[in-house]
Amino acid sequence: MKVILKEDVDGLGYLGDLLTVADGYARNYLIPRKKAILANPRNIKAFEHLKRVATHQLKKELQGLGELGKRIASVSMTFEVQTGKDDKLFGSVTSKDIGERLSQEGIEIDRRKISLAQPIKELGTYAVPVKLHREVVPEVSVTVVKKGGEEPVQDEIDLAEDSPQSESE
């Protein structure tokens, strides 16, 4: 079945593409979700006009997304997590966690746009891409560190030093 995409569909095509897809895929997924329309001569002609208008809007949208992309790229976040033996995480850092941290920074995006193939399950620094548009993909710096690593040891030493001083006074 031939369809015209009304929006970008991951793994399939982009807005305005004329594609041949399986009948069931078109009838059960693309058309009901308004991601595509049936490609007949009338729809093809109408969509050519819409595509020209959409191209103009896309240029404006890309400028706004470029600014948002710069803001996202400037964000670096640190997650303190509990670890077990061999520094393996209890749980993981997911796209939901990254999305929540971005919203705390004042950047509201859909968490499905965060391209994290697998949840982060090890300590380290990761560059996580955020797909705002096929042409705008900034990366967020995510650092995963051990909770209560070096800092609590320093606090215990400070407390030990405070105790003898308070007794002598």
pLDDT digits (tens, 9 = 90+) for 34-71: 999 999 999 888 888 877 887 888 888 888 888 888 88
- Residue 134 pLDDT > 50: yes
* Entry pTM: 0.62
- Residue 162 pLDDT > 70: no
Q: Are residues 48 and 83 in the same domain?
A: no
Q: Are residues 80 and 50 in the same domain?
A: no
Q: Are residues 75 and 65 in the same domain?
A: no
Residue of higher predicted confidence among 130 and 167? 130
Q: Residue 136 domain-assigned?
A: yes
**Number of domains within the chain:** 2
For residue 119 the two structure tokens come to: 């949840």
pLDDT digits (tens, 9 = 90+) for 114-129: 888 888 888 889 999 9
We report the CATH number of the domain holding residue 58 as: 3.40.5.10
92 neighbors 119 (Cβ within 8 angstroms): yes
Q: Residue 161 domain-assigned?
A: no
- Average of per-residue pLDDT across 143-164: 53
- Containing domain of residue 44, as a range? 2-69
- Residue 166 pLDDT > 50: no
Cα distance between residue 153 and residue 151, in whole Å: 5
